[in-house]
Amino acid sequence: MTWVYVVLGVLFVVTIAGYFSHVAGRLDRAHLKVESTRSALNTNAAHRSSLALEYGRLDVVPADISQALSAAARAARDEEFAESGWHLESVLTAAIAAAIEDLDLLEQARTRAPEVVADLASVCRRVQYARRFHNDAVSQARALRDRFVARTFRLAGHAPLPEYIDFDDSVPPPFEAH
């Protein structure tokens, strides 16, 4: 009869260890997803900065708009995406919106460099999606970390708590239509 208790005890320990391993694996995958979505956001933000610089260099863009757009794009691109870096992405979003608000100017730019305008519109949408995906991944990772088992037994290890990224990533209205 004692061997039954030993077997049941071993099965209980194996079941608990398996559950802990499962939760720890989910946490690990959630943190990897946060890292990959942040990398995608960084890549798309850098691409948007490059395209904004290229758009600012078009000969149809007035000098004052070109200088403001170029300054915002360089500042956003050169920043290491710390908290102030994401603020600079908001400044770049505003500069892009100001640069394309003149629809006649935008049409001239589309005539001269259609690929630049189309790529800029596309990357503005991709930045918006990438930030949303990142923040969704952060929500999922935080929800897993908030579970009783994960908190009590420190299944997240020493991984830092994932942070949300918040900046103005709105797509300018002339780009929403295309």
Query: 115, 121 in Cβ contact below 8 A?
Result: no
Please count the residues of the chain.
Answer: 178
> What does the pLDDT profile of the chain (178 residues) look like in tens digits?
799 999 999 999 999 999 999 999 999 999 999 999 999 999 999 999 999 999 999 999 999 999 999 999 999 888 655 555 689 999 999 999 999 999 999 999 999 999 999 999 999 999 999 999 999 999 999 999 999 999 999 999 999 999 999 999 999 999 986 5
Query: 131, 165 in Cβ contact below 8 A?
Result: yes
**In the chain, how many domains are there?**
1
Give the pLDDT of residue 153: 94
Look at residue 22 and tell me if it is in a domain. no
Look at residue 11 and tell me if it is in a domain. no
Give the pLDDT of residue 19: 96
The position carrying tokens 């579970």 is 147
Per-residue exposure over 149-178, b if at least 16 CB sit within 10 Å of its own CB, e if not: ebeeeebbeeeeebeebebebbbbebbeee
d(CA 23, CA 127): 31
d(CA 161, CA 65): 40
Look at residue 10 and tell me if it is in a domain. no
Give the pLDDT of residue 16: 96
Give the pLDDT of residue 82: 54
Look at residue 28 and tell me if it is in a domain. no
Look at residue 25 and tell me if it is in a domain. no
CA dihedral 52, 57, 62, 67 (to 10 degrees): 70
Look at residue 99 and tell me if it is in a domain. yes
Residue 117 lies in domain? 36-176
Give the pLDDT of residue 80: 56
Look at residue 109 and tell me if it is in a domain. yes
Whether pTM exceeds 0.85: yes
Look at residue 171 and tell me if it is in a domain. yes
Give the pLDDT of residue 112: 94
User: Tokens at residue 148, please?
Assistant: 């009783």
Give the pLDDT of residue 81: 52
CA distances from 150 to 11, 36, 56, 57, 164 (A): 21, 22, 49, 52, 20
